[in-house]
Structure 1
Amino acid sequence: MHINTPDAASTQRLEQLVAKTDFLRLTTSNAHYPNAMGAGLPLLIVETALCSAVISLQGAHLLEFKTIEGDPLLWLSPNCDFTPGVALRGGVPLCLPWFGVNQAYPDKPKHGFARNSFWELGGAHLLSDGAVELEFLFLSDANELFPYDFSAELRITLGTSAKLELTINNTDTEDFDCSWAMHNYHRISSLTDVQVLGLAERTYLDNFENYAAKHQSGDVSFTGPVDRVYPAIDNSVRISGSPSIEITHSDCPSVVVWNPGQEAAAKIADIGEGQEQFYICVERGAVLSEKWHLTAGTSKSAWMEFKQV
């Protein structure tokens, strides 16, 4: 499938919008991450009195976030490949219009194609509380991967927390199903000491055993590889470690917890040996049986927010 790239008109609109703000600046991955692999991608740098952040226009992908006095809350792989069309490893990739392996067509790319495509910055505002609100837009015509017209909007609000609100619009004449996840890679200081709180005694689906249903005894810890979907989780969850992070949500029924473990991480080129020690993924979304059904002409929205506690 063709991966879209910014045209001259969208680049000009972006530059004009950024020029009107005093909290945004444009750079490139080559300039900001001089040792990174890849031909390079355009990046937005956010700097306010409350926080700092880095966002890739490819995927409307939040790569870094920290409050002024807080710790970095996202992990970005030192082996991330900034080649256009290649998924970026770390931060908060948006998996859309499906999560993981496409259940109906396993040969299609994992995690959809929105994260590999460029989004347009449609608005940038400084709110009264000092937070920044950024609006990203994505249009997708029916194609060989997803045969329906749809659009998506991602509103990212950055202040004392990071909040991502996703709206998916069915602009087609037919109904469709889609699944999605905000695939948070959270930075941790020690994989052996970290736990995920809020999932104890719940059922999870184990991806290592074809999503077999299992019981979560106690809080989630990482004594080996973990790849689990926890359905029907209405409550917030917390990463207990350094830093300690609370993740709240609205209309994100699924929680996904993932760490590849030592052996698999060493075999994944854009992670690398030993890097699994420095992050865990705790994701919110609507996946597997909790996917969204959108009738023609309708929209659905959900949000996820995380902050240091």
Structure 2
Amino acid sequence: MDEAMPSFSHRIQTVKDYYPDAITEDPQLPLHVIESSDATVVFSQQGAQLLSFIPKEQDDWFWLSPNSRFIAGQAIRGGVPICLPWFGSHCSDASKPSHGFARNVDWQLLGIESITHERLGPCTRVAFALDQYVQQAHPLFPFVFSAQLICYFNHRLQLEINVTNTDTQPLPLSWALHSYHPVDNLHHAKVTGLEGCHYLDNTQQLLRQVQQGDVTFDDEVDRVFVNAPIEQRLVQRPATSTSPEAGLKVSATGSATAIVWNPGIKKATAMNDLGADYQADFVCLERGNAFDNAVELAPQQCHRATLDIELFS
């Protein structure tokens, strides 16, 4: 018997309506709230940033800082910021903002529909486009391109990113989906699936090292794993005598870089959109193509990658 297609509704709300306690200088910033028979998702129009994914009878899979600043043109601390068209510091001009500009500009909602997905089955599809730089370059990036962010969801989630070089010259590209996930106790959390992998340690001037064992969080962690395996797991709840360990499984196609980050107490204290009180509430487990895995797109070439997230226990 065929599974039924999920029904859905869509509404646009201001950030202040949806998050009454939000810190904002722009209370009218629009959010897209999509409720289906499977889950509720929330996107900011700025950055096409997924802020929340709550499957029925579950907690949110993503973390949003209570101190996030919802200000036009500024990054939002939490959810899944899209770092594009470069990840981290700009490779040749340190005066340019970290993580590019795609997360700080408005994207266009292309549409929402119910579909049958080859991996997820019946689900809801939400698509956003960044198309204002198809013919005229952004002042910070002398190339023209287009990008799409597509979200497929039911009780699971897939994010797909597509970047097309619309220029007549090769386009250098590095990027990441900078996912923030909640944890109950940071000191009991860990990321598995990276043992033996080479990483650049951002706490030691990008010193190259090899991961020994699982990634744990006793202090600041900022590691960029190059040529990473397809799958990692974030253990959010350790095993007990009565229950196995549980958390989120992340699987990627089209991306070879995995990033694991928590700023530690010292850096978090100095971040006005985070703070010491919330530093231990999250781990970033990200995927993308950066550093050794940065790509160059030929004219009219499209780069596609997917990120699948699901629970395990």
Q: TM-score, length-normalised on structure 2?
A: 0.90
Deviations 1:177-216 (A, max 9, x none): 1100000000111100000010112211101122111121
Alignment partner, residue 241 of structure 2: none
Aligned pairs, how many? Answer: 289
Alignment partner, residue 15 of structure 1: none
Among 131, 148, 155, the alignment partner of 2:123 is 131
Deviations 1:97-135 (A, max 9, x none): 000100111110110000001000112111244421011
Give, in angstroms, the shift of residue 85 of structure 1.
0.7
Give, in angstroms, the shift of residue 56 of structure 1.
0.4
Alignment partner, residue 198 of structure 1: 193
Q: Is the 8 A contact 1:50 1:130 kept in 2?
A: no
Amino acid at match of 1:136: F
Amino acid at match of 2:271: I
Deviations 1:157-187 (A, max 9, x none): 1212121111101001111111000000001
Deviations 1:214-268 (A, max 9, x none): 1211000001000000010132000112360000110110000000001110110
Amino acid at match of 1:284: R
Find the residue that maps to 2:269 and give its secondary structure. helix
Give, in angstroms, the shift of residue 25 of structure 1.
1.2
Question: Are 2:139 and 1:147 aligned?
Answer: no
Q: 2:106 and 2:178 mapped to 1: Cα distance?
A: 17
Alignment partner, residue 230 of structure 2: 235
Amino acid at match of 2:202: N
1:159-174 maps to which residues of 2 (within 5 A)?
159-174=154-169
Find the residue that maps to 2:23 and give its secondary structure. coil
Amino acid at match of 1:175: P
Q: 1:143 and 1:247 mapped to 2: Cα distance?
A: 32
Among 83, 100, 106, the alignment partner of 2:94 is 106
Question: Are 2:297 and 1:291 aligned?
Answer: no
Alignment partner, residue 303 of structure 1: 306
User: Please, what is the CA RMSD of the aligned residues?
Assistant: 1.2
Deviations 1:266-289 (A, max 9, x none): 110001122111100000000112
Q: 1:308 and 1:127 mapped to 2: Cα distance?
A: 22
Higher-strand-fraction structure = 2
Alignment partner, residue 18 of structure 1: none
Deviations 1:31-51 (A, max 9, x none): 011111111310011211111
Alignment partner, residue 4 of structure 2: none
Question: Are 2:27 and 1:32 aligned?
Answer: no
Q: Is the 8 A contact 2:232 2:250 kept in 1?
A: yes
Q: Is the 8 A contact 1:249 1:305 kept in 2?
A: yes
Alignment partner, residue 279 of structure 1: 282
Q: Which 4+ stretches in 1 moved above 4 angstroms?
A: none
Give, in angstroms, the shift of residue 22 of structure 1.
4.2
Give, in angstroms, the shift of residue 24 of structure 1.
1.2
Find the residue that maps to 1:144 and give its secondary structure. coil
Amino acid at match of 2:68: C
Question: Are 2:39 and 1:48 aligned?
Answer: no
